[in-house]
Amino acid sequence: MANPPARPVYIGRFAPSPSGPLHFGSLVTALGSYLDARAHNGQWYVRMEDIDPPREQPGAADDILRTLEAFGLHWDGPVVWQSSRSEAYLAALEALAEHCFYCTCTRAELRPYEGVYPGTCRARQQRLSEQHSAIRLRTPDTPLCFHDRVQGQICHTPQETGGDPILRRKDGLWAYQLAVVVDDGAQGITDVVRGNDLLNTTAGQVYLQQCLGLPTPRYLHLPLMVDAEGRKLSKQNHAPALDPSAAKPLMLQALNVLGIAPPAHLNDATLEEILRWGIAHWLDHVPSLQPTTVCSIALTETLTP
């Protein structure tokens, strides 16, 4: 009998939320994760983080997928939709029962703590059938550590990352922390390449992986895009949507933001040639990435050279 094909040594992913169209900051993140996967001869998946219906825009998910294709960022395999993964999240939550507790705190009660959960409900021991409560993961008091491929060993105390994270919200919706860990494990993700704004969530995710007996991927955090006033370039801050008709100049600019200055001859190249050039030069450049360096850009300016 023939041996089954070996799994790739590298599996990466891009996981946007359909709360609006992709913007330039999204492109930088998608491009960085794509280049890293292709430079390692690995697979690159797309996962749609559609687990927060109140924040989602109708048609945004399909628009995101069309935009990725227009920019030449073609993924492997089927798109994973988190909205169809509730059974997996419930199974994980049940497996985590001994590490969890119910929290009935309101936003008003937590507001004085400025985003750091004070542990108010840690002693609660109710069964997991209780309603009208959030379910939180009880984190250790000691620092949680992980390794970033550029920044090296990073340790955060639970207080630095917001305290005990919510796994399931009061309204019954699944929280990002649980969904991302369960899905990375299910898809066999070996490498997570994402924006530096998610750096402080990583240690908690690594702890959750350990509680679930899941392997920890390698992590690489990319430069964070901000506007001229220092705000994160995001959908919430009304960052302009990507224009597929300007895919080539925007791709060249994204390479510049990642610190890989494209040569002048690429101005006349096809999108495929630009991506091939980026893949060929990516790994040599990774050690010099500066994930903590922000790139100031006005939200209203045209993102073309």
- Note down the domain range covering 118: 87-177
Last residue of a domain, one of 177, 204, 235: 177
Answer whether residue 205 is part of any domain.
no
Tell me how many domains the chain contains: 2
Answer whether residue 305 is part of any domain.
no
- Rounded Cα–Cα distance for residues 56 and 96 (Å): 28
Residue 188's CB is within 10 A of a number of other CB atoms, namely 13
Q: Over its length of 305 residues, how does the chain's per-residue pLDDT go in tens digits?
A: 445 455 558 999 999 999 999 988 899 999 999 999 999 999 999 999 999 999 999 999 999 999 999 999 999 999 999 999 999 999 999 999 999 999 999 999 999 998 899 999 987 766 555 667 999 999 998 999 999 999 999 999 888 888 999 999 999 999 999 999 999 999 999 999 999 889 989 999 999 999 999 999 999 999 877 666 666 655 555 567 899 999 999 999 999 889 888 999 999 999 999 999 999 999 998 988 875 555 554 443 444 43
- DSSP lists the bridge partners of residue 218 as 191
Q: Judge if 131 and 17 occupy the same domain.
A: no
Q: Which residues are annotated as a binding site?
A: 13-17, 49, 103, 105, 117, 121, 176, 194, 235
**pLDDT (tens digit, 9 = 90+) per residue, 186-215?**
999 999 999 988 998 999 999 999 999 999
Q: Which residues are annotated as a binding site for Zn(2+)?
A: 103, 105, 117, 121
pTM: 0.89
**pLDDT (tens digit, 9 = 90+) per residue, 19-35?**
999 988 899 999 999 99
Q: Which residues are annotated as a binding site for ATP?
A: 235
Q: Which of 68, 79, 162 shows the shortest CA–CA distance to 113?
A: 162
| Torsion from C-alpha of 31, 33, 35, 36, nearest 10 degrees | 160
- Residue 191's SS3 state is strand
The domain that holds 146 is classified in CATH as 3.40.50.620
- Rounded Cα–Cα distance for residues 20 and 236 (Å): 9
Q: Judge if 255 and 277 occupy the same domain.
A: yes
Q: Which residues are annotated as a binding site for L-glutamate?
A: 13-17, 49, 176, 194
